Amino acid sequence: MNPKIISIGTANPPEKFSQEEVYKLCGYKNPKIKSIFLNSDIDSRYFYLSKKNFELKENVDQKNQRYLKGSLEISEKAINNCLEKIGCEKEEIDCLIIVSCTGYLCPGLSSHLVKKLNLRNNIQQANILGMGCGGALPGLQRAFDHAKAYPQQKALLVAVEICSAAYFIDNSLETIVGNAICADGAAAVLFSGNSGYKGPEILAFESLIAPEHLDKVGFEQVEGHLRIVLHKDIPDLAGPFAQKVIDSLLCKNNIKKENIKYWVLHSGGRKVIDKLKVQLNLSEEEIKYTKYILRNYGNMSSPTVLFVLKEVLEKANLQAGDLAIMLALGPGLVVETALLRW
pLDDT band with cut points at 50, 70 and 90 for residue 228: confident
- Using the predicted structure, report yes or no on whether residue 222 has a pLDDT greater than 90: no
Same domain, yes or no, for 275 and 168? no
CATH code of the domain in which 157 resides: 3.40.47.10
pLDDT tens digits along 286-320:
999 999 999 999 999 999 999 999 999 999 999 99
One domain for residues 188 and 210: no
pLDDT at residue 229, rounded to an integer: 76
Number of residues written out for the chain? 342
Decide if pLDDT at 334 tops 80: yes
- The number of domains in the chain is 2
Mark whether 61 and 34 lie in a shared domain. Answer: yes
More confident residue, 228 or 87: 87
134 with 55, same domain?
Answer: yes
What is the pLDDT of the chain when averaged over all its residues? 93
Same domain, 279 and 216: yes
Asked if residue 211 and residue 164 are part of one domain, the reply reads no
Q: Which domain holds residue 280?
A: 201-341
Assess whether 184 and 216 both reside in one domain: no
Query: In angstroms, rounded to a whole number, what is the distance separating the alpha carbons of residues 233 and 151?
Result: 43
Last residue of a domain, one of 166, 192, 218: 192
The more confidently predicted of residues 107 and 217 is: 107
User: Is 225 found in the same domain as 325?
Assistant: yes
pLDDT of residue 172: 84
Cα gap 337→106, rounded to integer Å: 29
- Specify whether 185 is located in the same domain as 219: no
Query: Is the domain of 186 the same as that of 222?
Result: no
Is residue 161's pLDDT more than 90?
A: yes
Do residues 287 and 273 touch, judged by C-beta distance below 8 A? Answer: yes
Name the pLDDT band for 124 (thresholds 50, 70, 90). Answer: very high
Share of the chain above pLDDT 90, in %: 80
Q: Do 74 and 177 have their domain in common?
A: yes
Out of 173, 192, 211, a domain closes at: 192
**CA 135 from chain center: how many Å?**
7
Q: What is the pLDDT of residue 225?
A: 84
Burial of 13 (0-12, 13-18, 19+ CB in 10 A): buried
pLDDT above 90: residue 175: no
Residues 46 and 100 in one domain: yes
